[in-house]
Amino acid sequence: MPAVELNNICKSYNDNLVVNNVSFTVAQGEIFGLIGPNGAGKTTTIRMMMDITKPDSGGISILGESLNEATKNRVGYLPEERGLYRKVRVLETLVYLASLKGLGVRAARSRAEELLKRVDMLPHKEKKVEELSRGMGQIIQFLVTLIHDPQLLVLDEPFAGLDPVNTKLLKEMILELRNQGKAIILSTHMMNEVEALCDRILMINKGCTVLYGELAEIKSRYRNNSVYLEFGGVLGDIGGVVGKKEHGDYVELFLDKETPPQKILRQLASRGVSVNRFEVSTPSLNEIFLQVVEKGR
């Protein structure tokens, strides 16, 4: 049973179609990247999943059923637009918001202290939220998302505004959760984080699905059959190379369709070229993102 299943979801505001026929599934124990440029429809899609906004058409199934009060208790949501009660103490905030997720007060208090200890913030439990730094506040917000031990976590831009130390902490915790079998949806602009964490992705642009599938498969799909070469000596003409692009201290060699990279490497060795680096080029997700978005303009 998939943790999330969206089928042909559509949503429009004032005759403007912001989500157009989007479908995807997220499995248990998977980190799923939901990416796209600003205004692509990511947050609207997430809000429909969370039952905050109703879709105009299409079906949504969360943990095997349509979202209801019981299902809501098994989902943790970190919205993009976030904040907490500024005048309320950290522990009180965690306990109240956990109780709204069905956790008893005593259990919520115990779990809150456990999580605060995990992120080295237990000494701050009696502080008011307004007394915390912005980064600390975001960590508390992340704890709100997982305090009730949800089966599904939806994290909208979780790394925005975090320093490298807190980003590392958050990444570690996300991976821990994945290893515990939780399904995690990660919506972010930070492509390097998606590459580091996600198993599969969905990219939407202008409300439509433009990429969907295994991250490795998508990257191989966007490979342009070239190699990066850093060398010493004279290169000369190499059979099977149809183009060459200088990148400062290395060159990118574009190969014809029939030439595998190994053949190039053998030719270089036979000519006595000193090879310092030889790498089959794989486009970064960021490059794929830019390529897809610019194509859609």
Partner 1 sequence: MNKTILILKHEFLHMVKTKSFIIMTLALPVLVLIAMAILSFIQGIEKPLVPSDVISIGYIDEVGGFSGYTEQPGEPTVTLMGYNTPEEATSALLAGEISQYFIIPSDYVATGEIIRYTLERELEPPGKIQWALKSFLLSNLLEGQTSPEVIERTKAPMGLVSIRLDETGQVATDQGGFGALMVPLVVGFLLIISIFSSSGSLLQGLGEEKENRVMEILLSSVSARQLITGKVLGLGAAGLVQVVIWLLSAVFLVRWISTTIGGFISTIQIPDNFLVLGIVYFVLVYLFFAVLMASIGAIGANARDSQQLSMLLILPAWIPLWGLFFFLNNPDHVVSRIFTMIPVTAPLMVFVRLGTSGIPTWELVLSISVLIAGIIGGLVLAAKVFRTFVLMYGKRPRLGEIIRCLREA
Q: Which residues bind partner 1 (CB under 8 A)?
A: 14, 47, 50-53, 69, 72-73, 75, 77, 79, 81-86, 96-97, 99-101, 141, 144
Question: Least distance (Å) from partner 1 to the CB of residue 97?
Answer: 7
7 Cβ contact list (under 8 Å, min separation 6): 23, 58, 59, 60, 61
Indicate the residue among 94 and 264 with the shorter CB distance to partner 1: 94
Indicate the residue among 106 and 295 with the shorter CB distance to partner 1: 106
Report the C-alpha gap between 130 and 22 in whole angstroms.
39
Question: Least distance (Å) from partner 1 to the CB of residue 87?
Answer: 9
Indicate the residue among 39 and 260 with the shorter CB distance to partner 1: 39
Closest CA to 30 of 176, 214, 184, 217: 184
Indicate the residue among 16 and 270 with the shorter CB distance to partner 1: 16
Question: Least distance (Å) from partner 1 to the CB of residue 84?
Answer: 6
Question: Least distance (Å) from partner 1 to the CB of residue 75?
Answer: 7
Question: Least distance (Å) from partner 1 to the CB of residue 239?
Answer: 60
DSSP state of 130: G
Tokens of 283: 């486009």
Tokens of 249: 């201290």
Indicate the residue among 62 and 170 with the shorter CB distance to partner 1: 62
Question: Least distance (Å) from partner 1 to the CB of residue 289?
Answer: 26
Beta strands in the chain (DSSP E): 4-13, 16-26, 31-35, 57-62, 75-78, 152-156, 183-187, 200-205, 208-214, 226-232, 241-246, 251-255, 274-280
- Contact present, 112 and 98 (Cβ < 8 Å): yes
Question: For the chain, how many helices (H) and strands (E)?
Answer: 10, 13
Coil/strand/helix, residue 95? helix
Indicate the residue among 90 and 97 with the shorter CB distance to partner 1: 97
Q: What is the CA radius of gyration of the chain?
A: 24
